[in-house]
Amino acid sequence: MSVKLTTRQNGDVTVIDAAGRITLGEGASAFREAIRDLAAKGNAKVLLNLSEITYIDSSGIGELVSGFTTVRNQGGVLKLVGLTKRVQDLLQITKLYTVFDVYDDEPTAIKSFA
């Protein structure tokens, strides 16, 4: 299964629920388009829920970084919530924990945008 992305609003924060795999090819490009679409529409507060992500490769990590910079370049903020142990490991290895704001649960993440 490739990545499945569902977008919803929680207050003024746009939450993207991602499920499946973010890998080179369809998964990564779908993810990229979704983030660009949100940024173009002026969504300034984006929370990416990765709790249902089963697999992510270096291309997928690259898309997370691109999503982060795309939203930031539009004056917004992208944060992460619900990282599985595997995604946490990847962010540790790549030192991206120092780049992303990461939260364990959605209510705490939502409050952080205030």
Partner 1 sequence: MAQSNDDGEIQRVDRLLDSTLENVDLAEADVMRLAEIAGFDEEDLHRIGIAVRESMVNAVVHGNHYSTKKKVHFSVSLSVVHEAAAAPRDCLAVIIEDEGDGFQKKEVPDPLAEENLLRHSGRGLLLIEAFMDHFSIEPRTPQGTKVTLVKYKTRS
| Residues near partner 1, by CB under 8 A | 23-25, 55, 57-59, 61-63, 65-66, 68-69, 86, 90, 93-96, 98-99
Nearest to 18 by CA among 113, 94, 28: 28
> Of 7 and 54, which has the nearer Cβ to partner 1?
54
Angstrom CA distances, 31 to 48, 63, 113, stand at: 11, 7, 22
In the complex, least distance from residue 114 CB atom to partner 1, rounded to whole angstroms:
26
Nearer to partner 1, 12 or 26 (CB): 26
